[in-house]
Amino acid sequence: MTQSIKRLPILDLRRFAPDHPERAAALEELRHVARSLGFFYLTGHGIAQAEIDALTALARRFFALPLESKLEIEMRRSPHFRGYNRAGLEYTRGAQDWREQVDFGPEREKLTLAPGDPPWKRLIGPNQFPSALPELRPAVLKWIDDVTAVGIKVLQAFSEALGQTPDVFAPIYSNGPNQLLKIVRYPGRDQTESDQGVGAHKDGGFVTLLLQDRVGGLQVDDGAGGWIDAAPIPRTFVVNVGELLELASNGYLKANIHRVVTPPAGGERLSIPFFLGANLAATIPVLDLPAALAAEVSGVTQDPLNPLFREVGRNVLKSRLRSHPDVARAHHADLIDPAQKEAVPA
């Protein structure tokens, strides 16, 4: 990457269809983007604008509720890390993220754990929905289904760009992928203690699909010491490579660093990111890449402050314990290193 990169590329999902005449060129573009920048705008995703507008409107209605109505589903009430967080209660690398948000996942029954069960099974369970906004539940669950379908199409395109069959990852996601939907509001800078909406980080799943409103704030590492502004483009998602794809490709694909800066004073920003991952019980394999691609492998990026595990559930649980220390202390104190002042996994 060079300093000349100022904007994310735009890719059309329809070009990856098996019978599309530009399919080979589209796969080549995807491979280049995913290996260099790791971020792009996605068009042609097929989700109706009416559904996008309806969910965005519900999100604004949720954040406009009185605080007590939002605290009814406060995340600290959920051992599964589902629900509402006030600004400043989520952390990235130990620093506060100034955004209020509500987290949802697949709607599943809480498991009855037996002695010796892996701790990640604690993550499985139901969502919390606000009683003051009953329309939110069906809209969120439908959105998770619809955006998961788009995410799987993107993942299949990545698989083929790596010289694999489209369903090479199906064994580790088809029996219930790990899905996380966040609905996020970033308050203006006059209401925060820093300009960190979300600190610099990488995403942990296969792919992330981000829906943005009209206000920018997402910035992508340009690889040359600067940042690329991912300005909102109507009718698109911003898509990025997650760490699971980096692990599976042995570092051929790179999960890139990004951050969100808070909006100017007096404004706000709404975003709806969706994170598609593998089944929590899965272990990420290393793909057998074609020789030409394998020759370009440089290995997985190693971060001593955030070690990566091929065991999906272990990775996800580590991330949630670190980013939500209040929930960790309330429900998972036995998993926290007692020698640390913060909620660091033991």
Amino acid identity for residue 268 in this structure = E
Find, among 63, 11, 6, the residue nearest to 34 by Cα. 11
Residue 342 has pLDDT above 60, yes or no: no
Q: At what angle do helices 136-161 and 49-63 cross, to 10 degrees?
A: 130
Amino acid identity for residue 281 in this structure = A
- Cα dihedral 69, 71, 72, 78 sign: positive
- Cα(55)–Cα(38) distance, integer angstroms: 27
pLDDT tens digit sequence for 20-77: 999 999 999 999 999 989 999 999 999 999 999 999 999 999 999 999 999 999 999 9
pLDDT recorded at residue 265: 83
Find, among 260, 262, 257, the residue nearest to 194 by Cα. 262
Which segment of 205-214, 267-276, 334-343 scores lowest on mean pLDDT?
Answer: 334-343
106 alpha carbon, distance to own chain's centre: 14
Find, among 14, 9, 13, 16, the residue nearest to 34 by Cα. 9
Hey, what are 30's tokens? 């995807």
Question: Length of the chain in residues, anyone?
Answer: 346
pLDDT tens digit sequence for 278-315: 999 999 999 999 999 999 998 888 777 777 889 999 99
Q: Which residues is 100 bridged to in the sheet?
A: 185
Find, among 331, 324, 177, 343, the residue nearest to 244 by Cα. 177
Which segment of 70-74, 90-94, 140-144 scores lowest on mean pLDDT?
Answer: 90-94
pLDDT recorded at residue 334: 93
Segment holding 137, helix H or strand E: helix 136-161
Q: Which residues is 210 bridged to in the sheet?
A: 238, 273
Domains located in the chain, CATH noted: 10-335 (2.60.120.330)
- Cα(12)–Cα(120) distance, integer angstroms: 36
pLDDT recorded at residue 106: 95
Q: Name the phi and psi angles at 316, rounded to 5.
A: -65, -45
Model's pTM, two decimal places? Answer: 0.94
Segment holding 35, helix H or strand E: helix 23-36
Find, among 139, 210, 208, 136, the residue nearest to 178 by Cα. 208
Alpha carbon separation from 171 to 28, 147, 166, 167, 313 (Å, rounded) = 25, 20, 12, 8, 15
pLDDT recorded at residue 330: 95
Amino acid identity for residue 104 in this structure = F
